[in-house]
Every structure is written in structure tokens, then in C-alpha cells.
Amino acid sequence: MYKYDEFDAEFVNQRALQFGRQVESRLSGSLSEEQFRPLRLMNGLYLQLHAYMLRINVPYGCLNSVQMRKLAHIARVYDKDYGHLTTRQNMQFNWIKLADMPEILLELASVEMHGIQSSGNCIRNITADEYAGVAAEEIEDPRVYCELLRQWSSLHPEFSFLPRKFKISVTGSEKDRAAVKAHDIGLRLYRNENGEEGFEVFVGGGLGRTPFIGKSIRAFLPTRHVLSYCEAILRVYNQLGRRDNKYKARIKILVHEMGAEAFTELVEKEWAQISAGALEVPEAELERVRAFFVPPAYERLPEESPELEAQLGSDAAFATWARQQLAAHKQPGYAIVNISCSPVGKPPGDISSAQMDVVANLADTYNFGEMRVTHNQNLVFTDVRKSDLFALWQELVRVGLATSNHGLISDTICCPGLDYCALATARSIPVAEKLSQRFADQDKQKEIGEIYLNMSGCINACGHHHVGNIGIVGVDKKNSELYQLMLGGSAEEDASLGKILGPGFDEDGIVDAVENVIDTYLELRDESERFIDTYRRVGPDPFKERLYSAPA
């Protein structure tokens, strides 16, 4: 993974010291809350229901064991012994003291971490495919470009006061694990017919109050132009994006109101002026960054491991986990391991400092000292020898990180909701917990198969409910929680937005409703159809009928 040089280190250090000074000014009263708020947000510090919340960037989800240990340390010393993995592949802490912030930022800077632009109306943490560099079906590793984008977007002199927040995501695979069509800019890396690398560029995707699927505005952008093209898009957005209404300020609204064609024309016109300028990535810089992402020192191994085959045969629990949590690796004899942080009946994405320490040690032993955070609020070990899987699993079992629900119904995406969040209108975690308990049976989950259940505690959609195959959004109705159900969303390459099925439910009612939806699907599905396939074939009516028709 990328390693800071003296310039990156100084950059983050300067910023930590600057924020330290700003915190002092706030505590002494020379900055009012109104003046301080945007400054703290630009450093990832929110004021939530119970305390300050600090969001720490994990650039495109890549984390090393030293950093993970530091996060565990911060949880232990400055917070309440746990952290929360977010859908932007970051980690956040819910009980931070303002007065501790200068110290915390220096601690983070010492391991090449920070909270810069994890909030605010600026370019947020760049996200990427969590299998970047190792997925068997990958075309190109997107991380090199993520890193270039990370640097370019850090304290950009022109784009730090945008109309609204701005999210960029990059994938290099056919299978889209980075939800590129649900981002302000989505970049899909591929090779054209001449074998040249380039991006398909999507703009104007996003969830929130007004969800849109991103529009493809350029079929092929040579990779060396990625920064200038993004700069052109951002410049058009910075000048023309709406600033009169924060709910209409995202680029998706601009693209929608203007029309994708007219928007594209402006971007292309702007880009024509700057494409040959200083933003063209020099080959030397590309080489420098690329060198950080060369594959680790893999051993030459046969594809199959007889040891693993024997262990799969002799331990049923291990076999269940392995069938569910592993993905195919580029390198023979290695596997990608999904580590679920959404155990049954627990808040999705929460991880204790003790678990963080164990994961860091396991990463050192089995995964070249690195790991990834996924947008599904889980962790991934990308490079585990097949012969090590059994030992790794045994260690994970010991700390409660061996749940076998990857891609299954209990592996929900879930925002913090009204239990923590100042914007939420309903709780979301308790519903996710109840749902995972209702579907806790492994065989049942397996029978249901691949499905994405996403849940938010308000219409801002941090839990990505519009792009869940099943989406749930909690709202406040006369001071009680009401949960609306939507079906048919997808964040993948066949992205689509879910539609609300009908009137909402209370907390227990929504759990029953989801079970009814699942039962209906199981009755209707053709052999091997995923939930989303069945829904697309039969439409919402059979589900509506089941849920809302009067009992016979």
C-alpha cells in the first residue's frame, strides 16, 4: 500500500497542528461555534447526539496493522473502547472529547492517518473496490489512481468550499463492488480494444433525498488525464451547482436539471482548456505511485491446497465459513477473506479495540500486515495462503469475527441512526439487529442466497437504502418510528433504485414484513435466481399483495 514520503508526512502534520491551534481558539472563545463548525467538519469532527464524533479516513479502504493498532489505541484511550466502520470505508469514534483532539490528530499523523475532508462540502475520502489488486476477474488495479486522486483532492485551493459534499469512487473490475454509479463521480477502469487503459466516467449518481443513478459522460478517458478531467467536472460544479438550497446542491441535481448532455458539453469544453496542462500525470509520478501497489511477495503455490481440502472435509463449521467468506484470488494458492463485522444481533460495523488489536496481529501473521475496510462495513484480508485459512478462522472464531454471512441477508449496511446521529429521525441499528436475529439460521440464509439489505435512519440515506435489494428507511411519524420498505435497488454494475412498496411499519412490523417478502421470493423464484433477479422478473405486485392484502 501507499507509504507517505516526507512531503505527505509534513502535509498531515501541518494540518494536525493547524487544527490544534483552531481547537485552542475555540476553547478560549476567539472562535465562535458558528465559525469553528466548518473547521472541525473539515477535520472530520462532528457534534452528535451524545458527544463529538471523529471520522478518520481510511484511503480507499486500505489499512495496515500499525494503523489498526493505533485505531485500537485511540478507541481505548480517548473513546469507549470501540470504533465503527462506515460505508465510505472509514472508521469513526462516537465519544470523542474536543479537548483531546489536538493530541489525537498528532497520534494519527504518526501513522499516516487523519480526518481531513471526512466531512464538509469538499471532496471526501476516495473509495474503491475492496478487492482492488487481487480479484481474479480484475482488469486493472484502481488504487494507483485512487492515490493520485487522494493527493489532488487534499485541501484543493479551488474545491474546498463546494456547494455540497463530493464523493468519488473507482473500480477496476467488471463486478462493481465500489458502487460507482451511486457517486458524484464514478470511475470504471478498463482496457479499450487497443489495449490502452482508461476510465469510463459516470457523473451525478447519489442517494440522499433525491436518488439518481450516475450518467456515463465519457466512454473512454486515458488514465493520464484523470486529474484534469475531474478538475473540469469540479470546476463546472463549483461554479454552477446550486447554493440556494442544500437539498438541491449535489452535482446530481445540476446534472439532472441541466441535462447530462449539456453538462457533458460544459465539462468537455472546460477540459479542452486544461487537459494539456500541469495536471497531466507525469509518467515518473505514475511509476512512483505504482511501485507501492506491486503485489506482495507471494509464494509459488499450487492452486489447490490439500491441507485446506482436508480441513474443509473434517470441520463443518469451518467449511460453512469458508464457503461464504472467501473470494477467488488472482494468485494460485491464495484466497481473499471477508471478515464479517456484522455478527447476529450486534450493530453492523462496530469493532472493539480488543478485536482491532487481534485483527492487526492476524494481518501481520497471515496477510502481509495489511487489510481493507469495505463499504459494507466489514474487513477483508486480501492475500491469505489457502493453507493458512483454517488457522486464521480459528483465531477469528475466538474474537467473534467469524460470522458466515458475506453477501447474505444478515450482512446489512446500516447507518448509526437515532442511537447516535443528530440528523436521524428513527433508530436503524435495533432493526438491523432484529432482522439478523430473525434470519440467524445459517441454512435459511444460505437458501435465500445473495441479497443486499440496506437500512437508513432518515432520508439522507447514509445506509444506502435506495440501492439495497431490500431497502428500509426509518422516519419519524408523530414522534414514533415508522419504517418504509423498498424493493429492487442495486448498487452494482446493473445499478437501480428501489421503489417504496406501500405504507410503513413499526419496528416489529418491518421485521415481519421483510420475512414475508423473503417467503414470497422463495415461493416465486426460479432455480438459482437471486432475489434481485426474481424481483426484476415479477415486479412489486406479488410482494405488495402478500404484505398489504387483507388476511383471508
Partner 1 sequence: MATVKKNPVKFPDGDAGPMQQVVIANRLTDGVVVFLGRDRQWVTYLKDCPPAETPEEAETLLAMGVEAENNQEIVGPELIEVQDQNGTLAPIKMREAMRARGPSIRTDLGKQAGN
Partner 2 sequence: MPLLKNGAIADDPYTRVEGDDALPAEGAVLVDLARWESERDALIRRDGEVGVWLTSSETPAAIAEDLPHLAVVALEFPAFTDGRAYSSARLLRERYAYEGEVRAVGDVLIEQLHFMDRAGFSSFEFSSDQPEEDWITAQSDMKIWYQPTGDERPTATQLRRR
Residue 346 and residue 433: Cα distance in Å, rounded?
A: 6
Q: Closer CB to partner 1, residue 51 or residue 319?
A: 51
- In angstroms, give the least distance from the CB of 47 to partner 2: 18
Angle between helices 541-548 and 531-538 (to 10 degrees): 90
158 binds, among partner 2, partner 1, none (CB under 5 to 8 A by kind): partner 2
Query: How far is residue 15 from each of residues 43, 53, 97, 118, measured CA to CA in Å?
Result: 9, 19, 19, 14
Site for partner 1 in 234-293 (CB under 8 A): none
Quick one: 372 exposed, middle or buried, by C-beta within 10 A (0-12, 13-18, 19+)? buried
Show the CA angle centred on residue 473, arms to residues 471 and 476, nearest 5°: 165
Residue that has been written with the C-alpha cell 473547521 in this structure: 39
Q: How would you classify the pairing of strands 499-500 and 215-222? A: unpaired
28 binds partner 1 (CB under 8 A): yes
Question: Contacting partner 2 (CB under 8 A), which of 3, 27, 32, 35?
Answer: 35
> Is the separation of the CB atoms in 189 and 142 below 8 Å?
yes
Nearer to partner 2, 243 or 546 (CB): 243
Q: Which is nearer to partner 1, 38 or 222 (CB)?
A: 38
Contact segment (CB under 8 A) with partner 2 among 130-138, 157-165, 382-390, 494-502 equals 157-165
Q: Spell out the residues 6+ positions from residue 247 whose beta carbon is closer than 8 angstroms to its own.
A: 208, 209, 210
Q: Which positions ≥6 away from 86 have C-beta within 8 Å?
A: 55, 92, 349, 377
Strands in 215-222's sheet, in edge-to-edge order, are 127-128, 168-171, 185-191, 197-203, 215-222
- Only one of the segments 93-101, 272-280, 298-306, 323-331 lies at the binding site for partner 1 (rule: CB under 8 A); that segment is 93-101
- Cα 488 to the center of its chain, rounded Å: 20
Q: Which is nearer to partner 2, 279 or 470 (CB)?
A: 279
Q: Closest distance between partner 2 and the C-beta of residue 15, in Å?
A: 7
Sequence letter at residue 203: V
Question: Residue 131's binding partner, choosing from partner 2, partner 1, none, with beta-carbon cut-off 5 to 8 A by kind?
Answer: none
For partner 2, give the closer residue by CB, 235 or 385.
235
In the list partner 1, partner 2, none, the entry touching 419 (Cβ below 5 to 8 angstroms by class) is partner 1
* Cβ-based burial of 446 (10 A; exposed 0-12, middle 13-18, buried ≥19): middle
Q: Does 243 bind partner 2 (CB under 8 A)?
A: yes
CB under 8 A: which stretch of 127-135, 315-323, 362-370, 427-435 binds partner 1?
427-435
Closer residue to partner 2 (CB): 149 or 409: 149
- Burial of residue 85, with CB atoms counted within 10 A of its CB: 0-12 exposed, 13-18 middle, 19 or more buried: buried
Give the other-Cβ count within 10 Å of 423's Cβ. 16
Question: Which one-letter DSSP state was computed for residue 331?
Answer: S
With binding defined as CB under 8 A, does residue 10 bind partner 2? yes
Nearest to residue 374, comparing CAs of 324, 399, 339?
339
How many residues are listed for the chain in this entry? 552
Where residue 168 falls (left for φ over 0; alpha for ψ -120 to 50; beta otherwise) is beta
Q: Is 277 exposed, middle or buried (0-12, 13-18, 19+ CB in 10 A)?
A: exposed
**Is residue 157 at the binding interface for partner 1, with CB under 8 A as the rule?**
no
* CB of 192 or CB of 239, closer to partner 2: 239
Between residues 239 and 314, which has the closer beta carbon with respect to partner 2?
A: 239
Q: Which residue has the cell 473502547?
A: 81
Residue 341 and residue 350: Cα distance in Å, rounded? 7
Does position 347 interact with partner 1 (CB under 8 A)? The reply is yes
Stretch that binds partner 2, among 33-41, 171-179, 338-346, 522-530 (CB under 8 A): 33-41
Is residue 242 involved in binding partner 2 (CB under 8 A)? no
Count of residues binding partner 2 (CB under 8 A)? 38
Binding segment for partner 1 (CB under 8 A), chosen from 157-165, 245-253, 292-300, 474-482, is 474-482
Measured from the CB of residue 123, what is the shortest distance to partner 2 in angstroms?
11
Q: Which of residues 45-84 bind partner 1 (CB under 8 A)?
A: 47-52, 80
Q: How far is the CB of 246 from partner 2 (least distance, A)?
A: 10
Binding mask 216-235 for partner 2 (x = CB under 8 A): -------------------x
Q: Does 33 bind partner 1 (CB under 8 A)?
A: yes
Task: Choose the contact partner of 3 out of partner 1, partner 2, none; CB within 5 to 8 A by kind.
Answer: none
Q: At its nearest, how many Å lie between partner 1 and the CB of residue 23?
A: 10
Q: 124 or 466, CB closer to partner 2?
A: 124
Q: Which residues bind partner 1 (CB under 8 A)?
A: 26-29, 32-34, 47-52, 80, 95-99, 347, 418-420, 424, 426-427, 429-430, 433, 476, 479-481
Q: Which residues bind partner 2 (CB under 8 A)?
A: 5, 7-8, 10-11, 14-15, 17-18, 21-22, 35, 38-39, 121, 151-152, 154-162, 235, 238-239, 243, 273, 277-279, 282, 284-285, 288
